């Protein structure tokens, strides 16, 4: 999101289920208005039937995520883990997607057939892997890890691509994290192809 856009009249129905509704006939929505609608949507999505402990935990998560909303235009900090397309270190940023019920995925996944690499990666996130590479001083393990990152600098592996296709249901929308950007993914109901939404530069 860039700039403020043109402000529009606010509609009364901000969040219907997990769908963010915008004003009728609106051509532009200001950044401020959009962020407010996201925050309102989060507040409306509280699950029913939570016990006291779960309710307190949920309220804390909501509070943490709401404090994050104003920073959305500047981006979110997430840390991928290389053992699955939905594997991320748990942070407030990842909780944002969880609370909205939007799958957050990536395709930077190690092939299980690369046994030594998979064992080295384990549940490590990107930040931990880079730390091990730096501190490893060119030992065998750090070289294997460095080669994995360098040979998959696009942050998408062949195995990860197949796993993305398997993870998405027909007609499902998800968010793909790749090359430090968030993109919209959609799996077509009929062709079963995955479509990638790319925004043209303004």
Per-residue pLDDT at 146: 94
- Residues 91 and 54 occupy one common structural domain: no
Q: How confident is the model at residue 9 (pLDDT cuts 50, 70, 90)?
A: very low
Query: Does residue 16 fall inside a structural domain?
Result: no
Boundary (domain end) residue, out of 74, 105, 134: 74
Per-residue pLDDT at 145: 95
Boundary (domain end) residue, out of 18, 45, 74: 74
- Residues 129 and 43 occupy one common structural domain: no
- Residues 93 and 176 occupy one common structural domain: yes
Give the tens place of pLDDT for each residue, 42-81: 888 878 888 888 888 888 999 999 999 999 888 899 999 9
Q: State residue 26 phi and psi, 5-degree precision.
A: -75, 130
- Residues 82 and 141 occupy one common structural domain: yes
Per-residue pLDDT at 18: 56
Boundary (domain end) residue, out of 51, 74, 97: 74
Domain that residue 121 falls in: 75-197
pLDDT over 90, % of the chain = 48
Query: Does residue 85 fall inside a structural domain?
Result: yes
- Indicate the number of domains in the chain: 2
Give the tens place of pLDDT for each residue, 85-133: 999 999 999 999 998 889 999 999 999 999 999 999 999 999 999 999 9
Per-residue pLDDT at 198: 62
- Residues 107 and 149 occupy one common structural domain: yes
The answer on pLDDT for 8 being more than 50 is no
């Amino acid at each position: 999101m860039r700039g403020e856009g043109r402000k529009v009249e606010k509609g009364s129905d901000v969040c219907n289920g997990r769908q963010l509704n915008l004003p009728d006939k609106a051509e532009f929505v200001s950044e401020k208005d959009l962020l407010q609608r996201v925050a309102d949507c989060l507040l409306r999505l509280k699950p029913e039937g939570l016990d006291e402990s779960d309710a307190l935990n949920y309220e804390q998560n909501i509070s943490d995520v709401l404090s994050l909303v104003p920073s959305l235009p500047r981006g979110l900090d997430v840390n991928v883990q290389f053992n699955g397309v939905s594997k991320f270190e748990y942070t407030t940023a990842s909780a944002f997607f969880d609370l909205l019920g939007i799958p957050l995925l990536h395709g930077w996944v190690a092939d299980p057939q690369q046994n030594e690499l998979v064992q080295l990666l384990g549940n490590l996130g990107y930040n931990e892997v880079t730390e091990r590479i730096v501190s490893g001083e060119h030992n065998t393990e750090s070289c294997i890890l460095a080669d994995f990152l360098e040979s998959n600098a696009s942050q998408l592996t062949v195995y990860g691509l197949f796993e993305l296709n398997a993870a998405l249901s027909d007609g499902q929308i998800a968010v793909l994290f790749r090359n430090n950007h968030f993109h919209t993914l959609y799996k077509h109901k009929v062709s079963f192809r995955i479509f990638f939404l790319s925004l043209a530069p303004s």
